[in-house]
Amino acid sequence: MTYEGFLSRAASHMQESGIRKISAVGQKIPDLVPLAAGFPSPDTFAWDEFRAIANDLLSGKDASALQYGPTRGYAPLISALIEVMAGRGVKAQESELLVTTGSQQGLDLVARVLLDPGDVALVELPSYAGAISAFRNTGAAIVGVRQDADGVDLDDLARVTREQRAAGHRVRFLYVVPNFQNPTGLLIGLDKRRRLLEWATREDVLIVEDDPYGALFFTDVAQESDTRPIKADDPEGRVIYLSSFSKTLAPGFRVAWMVAPAPLTSHFEVAKQAIDISAGVLDQRVVFRAYEQGLLMSRLPMLRAHYQAKRAAMEQSLRAELGDTLSWVQPRGGFFIWARFPEGIDTDALIMRAVQRGVAYVTGSAFYVDEGASRRWARLSFSFPPIDRMREGVKRLAVAVREELAETSVPSASFPAAR
């Protein structure tokens, strides 16, 4: 039996995530070094504390720990999130908060509530692949805006908006990841954040600000004030802000949140009711207890130091193994290095050889929305593997690049010898 004829129009347009596809291939290769998945390091998980909290919650003293819960989220967690947001400079009201099942669900809710088929969602180019998929599933057109050294290029933003409007399309929002973007690692400067908000007001569009990495800045090159959310300076209510505990506590809890103007939050809540009723009730309680015990805040310095050391190790390995050929901008936080490969390398073609050599990355094209994707880029995640494995992965990548260049016979005089 074939099922094509049964599929909805939306389902037939859905695309499998390129990142998940690469991860699936990788799982079949023993000893593969995963520089692809943007997973947090399991070494950073607070196993002992989580075990104690879960034990207590599952003692049976309070049956609500395993009961259905409100769609908005566990009330004490919502109060905690108001405090978290205040720490980030955002005065959030209870009526503006919704706990989501990962920020990925927040993006899906944004898409369901704000996009009709044919509408336009603007995204940075390149942009987080999961957001592109969520927006695309609605039948909306996803249109890219170029980035410069500190994110969204304002001239290109003005041009794209003008062109889309002239073509009769409704531009609904701009999606941005201002802090250590996935995949480029870029940090949008404070002045540009202000100008983005001015643009949104002028053009009467919304901004969807996705901020899973802001707390993970590297103290050698950034500070907390660099990561001030656009939402912090948004008296008018133009910004829908999303954040998550995935990178700071653990992604397995799937606990995240969004802050949006109250009337929009009500719509997100109604949409969420039909999807999962609420985020995991037990998970929300574990996360709340962790917050209550001060675990989140007390562990941030350790997390920053952990990922900063890994970034340093990856940069050092890349310089040693591929220094003459690869270029990248040093990320000031987050999980990723966005690397530009030498002429003659197509990262979509290189990936199979790289996987055979025992290393995976995400091809740059996975983060683009059109055919014009540059095939010379790849996202290398330094967050997940231990440092010695990461170094091994970079060595293997260098072997794959050398082989590929030799086959495509581009002169490689400046390429370092095998070691």
Ligand X SMILES: Cc1ncc(COP(=O)(O)O)c(C=O)c1O
Strand order through the sheet with 377-381 = 327-328, 336-340, 377-381, 362-363
130 binds ligand X (CB under 6 A): yes
User: Closest distance between ligand X and the C-beta of residue 46, in Å?
Assistant: 17
Smallest separation (angstroms) from ligand X to the CB of 373 = 18
177 binds ligand X (CB under 6 A): yes
**Torsions phi, psi for 225 (to 5 deg):** -65, -25
Of 54-62, 97-105, 197-205, 387-395, the window that binds ligand X (rule: CB under 6 A) is 97-105
Cβ distance to ligand X smaller for residue 265 or 381: 381
Query: What's at 86, amino acid-wise?
Result: A
Q: How many residues are recorded in the chain?
A: 419
Q: Of 10-49, which residues contact ligand X (CB under 6 A)?
A: 38
Closer CB to ligand X, 212 or 358, in the complex: 212
- Provide the token pair at 311: 């970034």
Using Cβ positions, the residue closest to ligand X within the complex turns out to be 102
> In this chain, which of 128, 328, 361, 367 binds ligand X, going by CB under 6 A?
128
> Which CB, 32 or 256, lies closer to ligand X?
256
Site map for ligand X, 197-226, x if CB under 6 A?
A: -------------x-x--------------
- Out of 182, 284, 363, 381, point to the residue binding ligand X (CB under 6 A): 182
Q: How far is the CB of 255 from ligand X (least distance, A)?
A: 8
Choose the binding region for ligand X from 102-110, 297-305, 339-347, 363-371 (rule: CB under 6 A). 102-110
Q: Which 238-257 positions form the footprint of ligand X (CB under 6 A)? A: 244, 246, 251, 256
Least Å from the CB of residue 342 to ligand X? 27
281: nearest Cα among 253, 300, 309, 259: 253
Is residue 317 a contact residue for ligand X (CB under 6 A)?
Answer: no
User: Containing H/E element for 125?
Assistant: strand 120-125
Task: Kindly compute the dihedral angle of the four CA atoms of residues 226, 197, 231, 217, in this order, to the nearest 10 degrees.
Answer: -20
Apex 396 CA angle, 392 and 400, nearest 5: 170
Cβ distance 339 to 318 under 8 Å? yes
User: Considering the complex, what minimum distance in angstroms separates the CB of residue 399 from ligand X?
Assistant: 28
Indicate the DSSP class of residue 62: -
Residue 176 C-beta: closest distance to ligand X, Å = 10
- Can you name the residues that pair with 141 across neighbouring β-strands? 120
> To the nearest whole angstrom, how small is the minimum distance from the Cβ of residue 77 to ligand X?
15
Indicate the DSSP class of residue 333: B
Q: How far is Cα 270 from Cα 27, in angstroms, rounded to an integer?
A: 37
List, in sequence order, every residue forming a beta bridge with 148; answer none if it has no partner. 151
227 binds ligand X (CB under 6 A): no
Q: Is 328 helix (H, G, I), strand (E, B) or coil?
A: strand
Toward ligand X, which CB reaches closer, 105 or 365? 105
Residue 235 beta carbon to ligand X: minimum distance, rounded to whole angstroms: 25
How remote is the C-alpha of 90 from its chain's centroid?
21
Q: Which of 102, 214, 358, 393 binds ligand X (CB under 6 A)?
A: 102
- Determine how β-strand 97-101 pairs with β-strand 255-259: antiparallel
- CB closer to ligand X, 254 vs 396: 254
Helices (H), 257-294: 262-276, 281-292
Nearer to ligand X by Cβ, of 227 and 246: the residue is 246
Q: Which two tokens stand for residue 218?
A: 């590297």
Query: Which residue's entry shows tokens 């987050």?
Result: 334
| Least distance CB 256 / ligand X (angstroms) | 4
Instruction: Evaluate the omega torsion of the peptide bond into residue 76 and state whether it is cis, within 30 degrees of 0.
Output: no
Closer of 40 and 393 to ligand X (Cβ): 40
* Binding status of residue 103 toward ligand X by CB under 6 A: yes
Chain residues in the site for ligand X (CB under 6 A): 38, 102-104, 128, 130, 177, 182, 210, 212, 244, 246, 251, 256
